Structure 1
Amino acid sequence: MSEVSWIAVDWGTTQLRAWALAANGNVLHRAASASGMGSLAVDQFEAALLELIDGWLRADRVTEVVACGMVGARQGWREAPYAEVPCAPQAMAQVIRPEVSDARLRVSIIAGLCQRAPADVLRGEETQIAGLLAEWPDYHGLVCLPGTHSKWAEVRAGQVTGFQTFMTGELFALLSGQSVLRHGMQGDHPLDLPAFDAGLCAATERPLLGALFGLRAESLLEGLAPAAARSRLSGLLIGQELAGLSEHWQGLPVCIIGDGEVAERYRHALTTLGIAAQTLGAEQVTLAGLAAAHQHISGGF
C-alpha cells in the first residue's frame, strides 16, 4: 500500500472530515466524526483530530495536516485572521499553525475571507473556490455554495472580488421545525417538484412573510400535504435568495459546488430563470483546494 504523504482536513461546525493522501494525490483513507468545532473546547481539538487520524501517522516522521473551515474561527482551535477581498481565495501568508503535543504531526490552518461593505465572512468555502480554480484557472463567473448558510462569490482573474451569504438553509430548518409552519410539514419527505416550482414562482409574486403564512393557511383550509408544504417552503426561500442576486448575473456563468439533492435544487431553480449552471462535487474541489494549499506550505511555509 502507498505511504501516507499528508492529511487533508475539512473541519466544520458540526463535522470533522479527514483524508489521508499519497504523494501522487490519491486518497488512501477517509474518515469522519461528529467532533465539529461547535462541540469542542480549545484544548480538545488535538485529541479530536488524533482520534480520527492516529492510525495514519508514523512514529519516525512528521506528517503535515492541512485544515480548512471553522477550526480557524475565533471559537476554534486557533483563530486564522480573515483575508479581505478582493484577493486570492487562499491567503497563504495568513496560514497559522496551532501548537501540538504530538510530535508526529504539524497542523496548518487556512484563513477565511471577509468583506467590509456589505459586511460578510466565510470559512471553508475559500478552499472550495481555490479547488475550482485549480481545475479551471481562467474561470470568470459566479460560484454558488449551497448549505446552511449559502454563499455566492464572484471570481475574476484568480481572485474573489466579492461575495454574499444567505441564511436560507438555517431559515428552512427553523421555520419547518420550530415555527407555526411545523404543524403542516412534519416528517422527512422526498422533494415534490411541482410544489417546489410553485414556491419559486410565489417568491417573485408575493412578499415572503405573507407567502410563508399562506402555507399554514392552505394546510388548514385545503389540506396541503406535508411533502408539498416542505417543498414549497424550500422553493420560496431559494427563490428569494436568487431574487436577491439578480443584479449580479450580468451574463456571467454560474458554477454550483455541492452534492446531492440540495445542489440539484439550486441547479433546477437556476434553470427556471434561464441560467444553465455547471456543478462540481464538494469533496472533489475541497480536496483540490487543500492540495493547492499543501503545495504552497510544503514549498517553504
Structure 2
Amino acid sequence: MNHAEWLIVDWGTTNFRAFAIDENGEVLSKLEKPMGLLQVNNGDFSGALESVLKNWLENYQELPVYMAGMVGSAQGWVPVPYEKTPVKLADIANKSTRFTLSWGAEAVIVPGIYDQSNCNNYDVMRGEEIQLLGLQNIILKDEFIAVLPGTHSKHVMVKEKKVETFKTYMTGEFFSILSKYSIIGMGLPAQENSSSSFLKGVLSDRSGELLNTVFSARTLRIFEKIKETEVLDYLSGLLIGHELSHFKNETVYIVGNTFLSEKYRLACDSLGLKYELVNGDLAFLEGMKQVREML
C-alpha cells in the first residue's frame, strides 16, 4: 500500500468508495463505507475523509485525491457548478475545482452535467459523467448511447464526444418506494428470485400508462397469476421494461454493477434490443484516470 500514488473517491449521498491507485493506474486497494453526505456530521468532510484515510493508508498525507459525485453538490463539500449540455466529455476535467486539503495534499472535485429540454425541464447527473468519459475511452467511439442503471437511471446520448442530451428515470427509487411503502409490497412473504416473473413484468403492457400498469403487481398476485414470492421480481421487470421501451434498433451500452446489469441484460434480450455490457467500476476508474491525465 506504500506504493499508492493517488486516490480516487466516489462520494455520494449515502455511500463512500475509495480506490488506492499505483503509478501504473492499477487498483491496489478498495474501500467502501456507508458514509455518504447524509452521514457526515456538521459538514466536516475534511475530518470524515481523514478519519477514513489514516486508518487505511500510512502515506495518505502525500496522496492527491480525485473526487466525483454528490460531494461536489450544493449539499456537499465544495459546490462545483454543473456544466450545461452539449458538453465535450474531455472538457469536464478542465472545469474541476482544485484545492488543498488540511493535511497538505491536493484535492480535485469533478463537476456534474445538466441538461435543459425544449419544455424548460432540467436534468442533472453527478458521477455518471466520469463513467461516460471512461466508457468513451474503453469503446473508442465518438458517438454512442449509454444506459447507466441505478437508483436514478440515466439514458445518455453522446455525439462527437459530447454529451448532447440525457434523461433520468427514477426506476430504482420507484421500485424501493413501491416495495417498501405501498400496497404492492405490503405483507409479502420472503421473495425468491424468478427470471420468469421478471420477464413477465418486462413484457407487460407498456402502453404508456405506467401508473395503471404498475397496479398489476397487486392484481396478478390476487388472481394467482404470479406467486406471492415473486411479486418484486415482476415489479422490477415491469419498471425496467417501461424504462427501456423507447429504444428500437440502436445499440445501447449498459454501464453498471453486476446485479443490475444482469437484470437489464435479461430485459434487453426479452425486448429484442441490441446492447453491450461494460462494468461500471471499470468505466469509473478509467474515467478518473483520464481526468488525472488531462489535469
**TM, length-normalised to structure 1:** 0.89
Contact 2:144 2:252 in 1 (8 A): yes
**CA–CA distance in structure 1, aligned partners of residues 39 and 2 of structure 2:** 34
Q: Are 2:123 and 1:120 equivalent residues in the alignment?
A: yes
**CA–CA distance in structure 1, aligned partners of residues 270 and 142 of structure 2:** 24
- Residue 27 of structure 2 aligns with which residue? 27
**CA–CA distance in structure 2, aligned partners of residues 185 and 140 of structure 1:** 44
For residue 140 of structure 1, the aligned residue among 124, 138, 143 is: 143
1:23-46 CA distance string (max 9 Å, x none): 111111211111112222563211
For residue 198 of structure 1, the aligned residue among 186, 200, 213 is: 200
1:93-137 CA distance string (max 9 Å, x none): 32113553212x211000000001141000000000001112223
Q: Gaps (5+ residues) in structure 2?
A: none
Contact 2:18 2:32 in 1 (8 A): yes
* Offset of residue 210 of structure 1: 2.5
- Residue 71 of structure 2 aligns with which residue? 71
**What count of residue pairs does the alignment treat as equivalent?**
290
**CA–CA distance in structure 2, aligned partners of residues 127 and 42 of structure 1:** 28
- Residue 10 of structure 1 aligns with which residue? 10
Contact 1:140 1:252 in 2 (8 A): no
- Residue 266 of structure 1 aligns with which residue? 264
- Residue 253 of structure 1 aligns with which residue? 251
Q: Gaps (5+ residues) in structure 1?
A: none
**CA–CA distance in structure 1, aligned partners of residues 254 and 4 of structure 2:** 31
Q: Are 2:165 and 1:167 equivalent residues in the alignment?
A: no
Going from structure 1 to structure 2, the CA distance change for 1:234 and 1:295 (only over 3 Å counts) comes to: same
For residue 213 of structure 1, the aligned residue among 212, 215, 234 is: 215
Q: Which moved more, 1:137-146 or 1:173-182?
A: 137-146
1:229-287 CA distance string (max 9 Å, x none): 111111111111112x34xx5x4321100122211111121222222211111111111
Residue type at the aligned position of 1:161: E
Going from structure 1 to structure 2, the CA distance change for 1:184 and 1:241 (only over 3 Å counts) comes to: farther
**CA–CA distance in structure 2, aligned partners of residues 225 and 69 of structure 1:** 39
* Offset of residue 185 of structure 1: 3.6
- Residue 222 of structure 1 aligns with which residue? 224
* Offset of residue 5 of structure 1: 0.8
Contact 1:141 1:252 in 2 (8 A): no
3-state SS of paired residue (2:97)? coil
**CA–CA distance in structure 2, aligned partners of residues 241 and 42 of structure 1:** 38
* Offset of residue 218 of structure 1: 3.0
* Offset of residue 205 of structure 1: 5.2
RMSD in angstroms over aligned alpha carbons?
2.1
Over the matched positions of the two proteins, sequence identity in percent amounts to 31
Residue type at the aligned position of 1:252: E
- Residue 94 of structure 2 aligns with which residue? 93
